Amino acid sequence: MLVLGLDTATWLTSVGLMRDGRVLAEESRQVRTGHTDILLPLVHQLVSRAGVGLSELDGVGVSIGPGSFSGLRVGLSTAKGLCYALGLRLVGVSSLEALATTVGDWQGRLCALLDARRKEVYAAVFAREQHRGLRRLSPDMVVAPDELWPHITPPCLFVGDGAEAYQELIRDRYGDAARFVPWTDCHSSGVAVARLALPRLRAGESDDVATLVPRYVRLSEAERKRRQARSAPSGPAKP
């Protein structure tokens, strides 16, 4: 089974290609002005380097959040376009879970963190066990870094650009019980997305191409302002 994975949840555009669980190729580029102009050319470069055609694909996995609002929209719209054009199945994947799977031989608690700006992080906690693999312990959430503590049981490995941004704060809390993996070693990955999509595709499962939407976790700025406007007290009634 040939699966394409797309990850545009961060400032890194990453695409990966797997056949029956074996990595064929991966391409990643740092985003400067946005994912739109990079993603499709990167996909074509990837399949060309792997020596396969898009028509050979069995399915597409795409990160659906949390992460960059604009990045998630670009990734999902591109994935949907490929699925509609080629008649492929689509699987949405948590960007935090995909990030957590990039960790190597760590056994124990693991916290995946992406910088959400506004002094917040997107976060999810997992346990990695030798015989059970990766097990989710929390939902995807957006919190201030110091609100993470009720969800963490040390020792814990922290991974992601959010872990790097708030490493000093985390070390102050946990000391040597906090471990870190550099973003350069474990980052957003199209291969990780493809790897998580593969079991669902093998089981005959997929998401509805028409209705799948990003999981932002946090409200968009426009939606936040609309809610504030609706909840604002109205002025005094006119006589």
Q: Among 222, 217, 220, which residue's Cα sits nearest to residue 64?
A: 217
As a whole number of angstroms, the distance between CA 103 and CA 3 comes to 21
- Tell which CATH architecture fits domain 103-181: 2-Layer Sandwich (3.30)
As a whole number of angstroms, the distance between CA 239 and CA 235 comes to 12
What's the average model confidence in pLDDT over 21-34?
A: 91
pTM: 0.90
Is the pLDDT higher at 84 or at 34? 84
CATH of domain 2-96+187-219: 3.30.420.40
Q: State how far Cα 38 lies from the chain centre.
A: 18
Mean pLDDT for all residues in the chain: 91
What's the average model confidence in pLDDT over 118-126?
A: 97
Is the pLDDT score of 199 beyond 70? yes
CB 113 within 8 A of CB 120: no
125-157 confidence digits (pLDDT tens): 999 987 778 999 999 999 999 999 999 999 999
Domain boundaries, the chain: 2-96+187-219, 103-181
